[in-house]
Amino acid sequence: MIGFAAIPPEVLSQAGVAYVHYVSFMVCFGALVLERRLIKPNPSKQDATLMVITDVVYGLAALALLGSGILRVLYFGQGSAFYTENPLFWWKVGTYLAVGGLSLYPTITYILWAIPLRKGELPKVSEALAKRLGWILNIELVGFAAIPFLATLMARGVGLPAA
Ligand code: HEM
């Protein structure tokens, strides 16, 4: 049996922040997969509402992912210079920001759906819009899948300039 009391507090907090980083990543990815499955022209009220809720969950998880990442750089990792001096870290941050930027278009679209939904009406989603959103979600999924690869290399010091 592992006694939690026997674990040094700094190890426990490091593990906790790393856990938040992984769980929020999983939630983000899961939400994107669900959105990808749900997107279709003229969705039902149920599907459209689920999309809006899924996007809110995605947004909150993306913030937790960013927050835990920043905490790991500043306090719970291998020292901030270990990351900021590594171009792979900046590729990782850049990919995250690119995916986040891409999400703005679907997010604004879903926020606008909330207006008809609140009035009990269905949002109008054309074939072309559904296709466009589907492609954006595909690209986001590929971006998200690439980030852990950059992370695993970065965590092992690959890419750091020779001392
Ligand atoms: C800008 C936002 C982010 C920052 C600042 C950040 C920062 C960090 C830091 C400092 C670590 C610790 C590395 C170590 O153990 O020394 C880490 C690990 C990790 N991050 Fe992030 N991260 C961010 C976004 C993401 C995203 C979006 C994902 C997934 C899509 C992700 C996935 C991972 C994984 C899988 C690890 C574990 C690497 C390993 O230990 O092998 N991170 N991140």
Q: Please name the residue whose Cα sits nearest to atom 41 of ligand 1.
A: 152
Ligand 1 mean position, distance from CA 21 (Å): 7
pTM, rounded to two decimals? 0.93
For residue 2, pLDDT beyond 80: no
* Each residue's pLDDT tens digit, 68-121: 999 999 999 999 999 999 999 999 999 999 999 999 999 999 999 999 999 999
**What's the rounded Cα separation, in Å, for the pair 122 and 44?**
7
pLDDT band, very low/low/confident/very high, at 163 (cuts 50, 70, 90): low
Instruction: Quickly list H helices, the chain.
Output: 9-38, 45-71, 80-84, 87-118, 127-155
pLDDT band, very low/low/confident/very high, at 162 (cuts 50, 70, 90): confident
CB 160 within 8 A of CB 86: yes
Domain boundaries defined on the chain: 16-155
* Each residue's pLDDT tens digit, 17-65: 999 999 999 999 999 999 999 999 999 999 999 999 999 999 999 999 9
Q: Is the CB of 152 under 6 A from ligand 1?
A: yes
CB 13 within 8 A of CB 82: no
